[in-house]
Amino acid sequence: MNIIFSISGGLGKSILATAVCQAIKKKYTEDRLIVVTGYPEAFQNLPYVYMAVRHNEDYFFEKFVENQEVKFFATEPYMITEHILRKEHLIETWCKMYDVPYNGELPEVPLNEREVTFFSHKYRFEKPIMILQTNGGGGHEIKYSWARDMPMSVAKVIVEQYRHQYDILHIRREDQFPLEHTIHIQDGYKQIAFLIATSSKRVLIDSFCQHMAAGLRKASTVLWIVNTPKVFGYEIHDNILSNPETIKPDLRNASFGKYNIVGALHEFPYETETQIFNIDKILSSIDSQ
């Protein structure tokens, strides 16, 4: 039988979904697991995934559906009650949707020996590496989301505190805010995985790098504002929560969640961005890695 597991959304969600793939395959041991995703590279080298293809793959129906025994797993977990009410981790919700036992599976980001050897020659730095991801998402008019992104005031303190000890690799797109004294990194999936795997310290937000770090079992400092590590995070990380809100936000548009993750301007619940995090707590977490 072909089990077709369709995943919408961003790269982080696909990395997280590798844990769901493990659970599915443990139940359906004799069947072929075919993943449909925007990021098939996240499923390379995973022995429990038969094939990963992009949405709208040519001749998909003929290849995997027509005249074959098929089971579809294509429901959106973000619209399930347990997820909307933040009752459990998304991996657990996703498994329950498909009546698949969840036994604490975590994401996996495998790197094979040849990849490690190749990237070891490609990337050479004078100092130990610190990975910094300050912004997530993409394609929005608002380039900085107060609801998820690291405040620039916090990022600048981190860079100034550690730039003499580490080569700080700033994971960002071209259209996202640059930071002085950092090295801009905008490479492929496996390249970034290698850099995270070989880094000494990691300071991340609720975006794909924290899922990738968990998949590589690399404990990191992860900053959280609107979302919660209970739903999207991992115990391996030191999860730093934002400070209590200081003003009443305007939630006129809130429906299935309190805040819009893109950082709607009228929803901002602080007087200033400097109130969002305790910088001393963040620095202490980084030092303890």
pLDDT at 143: 78
Which one has a higher pLDDT value, 138 or 224? 224
Q: pTM, whole model, 2 decimals?
A: 0.95
pLDDT, one tens digit per residue, over 174-207 is 888 899 999 999 999 999 999 999 999 999 999 9
70 and 118 share one domain: no
Look up the CATH number of the domain holding residue 126: 3.40.50.2000
Q: Which band of pLDDT confidence, cut at 50, 70 and 90, is reported for residue 64?
A: very high
Domain contains 106: no
> Looking at residue 147, what is its pLDDT?
94
Q: With a cut of 60, say whether residue 91 has pLDDT above it.
A: yes
Instruction: Determine, yes or no, domain membership for 193.
Output: yes
Structure confidence at residue 137 (pLDDT): 75
Based on the domain organization, do 180 and 244 belong to the same domain?
A: yes
Asked if 212 and 193 touch (Cβ cutoff 8 Å), the reply is yes
Q: Is 265 within a domain?
A: yes
State whether 145 and 220 are in the same domain. Answer: yes
Residue 92 shares a structural domain with residue 124: no
CB 45 within 8 A of CB 61: no
Query: Domain count of the chain?
Result: 2
Average model confidence (pLDDT) across the chain? 95
State residue 139's pLDDT score. Answer: 54
Q: How confident is the model at residue 140 (pLDDT cuts 50, 70, 90)?
A: low
Pair (117, 236) in one structural domain: yes
Range of the domain at 68: 2-97
Same domain assignment for residues 214 and 119: yes
Three-state secondary structure string covering the chain: CEEEEECCCCHHHHHHHHHHHHHHHHHCCCCEEEEEECCHHHHCCCCCCCEEEECCCCCHHHHHCCCCCEEEECCCHHHCHHHHCCCCCHHHHHHHHCCCCCCCCCCCCCCCHHHHHHHHHHCCCCCCEEEEECCCCCCCCCCCCCCCCCCHHHHHHHHHHHCCCCEEEEECCCCCCCCCCCEEECCCHHHHHHHHHCCCEEEEECCHHHHHHHHCCCCCEEEECCCCHHHHCCCCCEEEECCCCCCCCCCCCCCCCCCCCCCCHHHCCCCCHHHCCCHHHHHHHHHCC
Are 127 and 91 within one domain?
no
The arithmetic mean of pLDDT across residues 250-257, rounded, is 90
Do residues 121 and 247 share a domain? yes
- What pLDDT, on a 0 to 100 scale, did the predictor assign at position 138? 61
Tell which of 97, 131, 151 closes a domain.
97
| N-term to C-term CA, the chain | 45
Region 55-69 average pLDDT: 95
